[in-house]
A and B are shown apart, each in its own frame.
Chain A
Amino acid sequence: MIMRESIVMKIHYGTALGAVFLVAIHIMMRMTQDFHESLQYENVIANYEMIGYAILLELILILISVHGFNGLRVILLEIRQGQSYEKGVTYGCIAAMIALVVYGSNTIISVHLGLL
């Protein structure tokens, strides 16, 4: 599947703007109480159990993974070019992105459902 680079960059910018907005909410949630207190086990579990917050975390996970690994792909393609190299970098970044989303989603869903 070949996607035009202009479309990829639109996705890159879209995910960036979405992530900025959602990460701001994520950080503000830490400010609703004392920073150190907000990181205590019970408080973190309570955060994950809120459906709205779990969805927020999942969206942040997807947006930053897409943005981050596409950024890494762009940097790697700036450094070196070549057909097989570019293919390897693109598929490698997609695979790493999927792996991270799966790992993070497992944490979010398991804690949200109480599967501890």
Chain B
Amino acid sequence: MEKENNAKEGIKGWISPAKYGKFGIERFAWILMRITGLGLLAYFIGHIIETGNILSGEGAWNSMLELTQTTEGHIFLALVIGMCVFHTGNGIRLMLVQMGYGIGKPARPDYPYKPQSLNMKGKACIYATIGIAALAMWYGITVMFG
């Protein structure tokens, strides 16, 4: 039991650099999924409160717009777009994996015990999702600054 408790790293386990070298891009996707999820939830709460300003009339709405429609505001929104696209793409990959797609066939565990599920298809999906998120951010920037 004590051994189990010692193994609990909590939030420190997320940021341990040793884990990234050991588990590769899948680990990076795992942590990014959680960071983007928390970021999007924070943005969503802020967005609901921000749009609630409309009830205070045109003046309050316009002063809120002055705060958000700035260069910093647009960069922040571009980050939100990137987080949203990554979270969506990686989420769809995880749903497919949980349904059994793309995880390979079961095989005898031989040394060096590489899991079948952590294969090139999964890695390619993660890289593609990061690429699409970057493209979406770029498109968002062209719309907002255009």
- Inter-chain CA distance A85–B74, complex, in Å, is 38
Instruction: Identify which of A13, A16, A64, A79 contacts B44 (C-beta below 8 A).
Output: A64
How many A residues are at the interface, by size bracket?
Answer: 20 to 34
Count of inter-chain pairs, beta carbons less than 8 A = 62
- A1-52 CB contacts (< 8 Å) to partner B: 13, 16, 20, 23, 31, 35-36, 39, 41, 44-45, 48
Residues of B near A41 (CB, < 8 A) are: 54, 58, 61-62
Whether, in the assembled complex, B65 has its beta carbon less than 8 Å from a beta carbon of chain A, the answer is yes
Contact, CB under 8 Å: A116 / B40: no
Let me know if B1 is at the binding interface, CB within 8 A. no
Q: Could you tell me the dominant secondary structure of chain B's interface residues?
A: helix
Residues A59-108 near B (CB distance < 8 A): 61, 64-65, 68-69, 71-72, 75, 79-80, 100, 103-104, 106-107
A75 pairs with B58, CB closer than 8 A: no
Contact of B48 with A104 in the complex, beta carbons under 8 Å = yes
Residue of A nearest to B49 (CB): A103
- CB A10 to nearest CB in B, in angstroms, measures 10
Q: Give complex CA distance A64, B88 in Å.
A: 12
Contact B69 A36 (CB under 8 A): yes
Most buried by A among B44, B69, B146: B44
What chain B residues lie within 8 Å of A64 (beta carbons)?
44
**10 shortest interchain CB distances as A-B pairs:** A68-B41, A104-B48, A41-B58, A107-B52, A71-B37, A41-B61, A79-B10, A35-B143, A13-B95, A20-B88
Q: Which residues of B contact A (CB under 8 A)?
A: 8, 10-11, 34, 37-38, 40-41, 44-45, 48-49, 51-52, 54-55, 57-58, 61-62, 65, 69, 84, 88, 91, 95, 143-144, 146
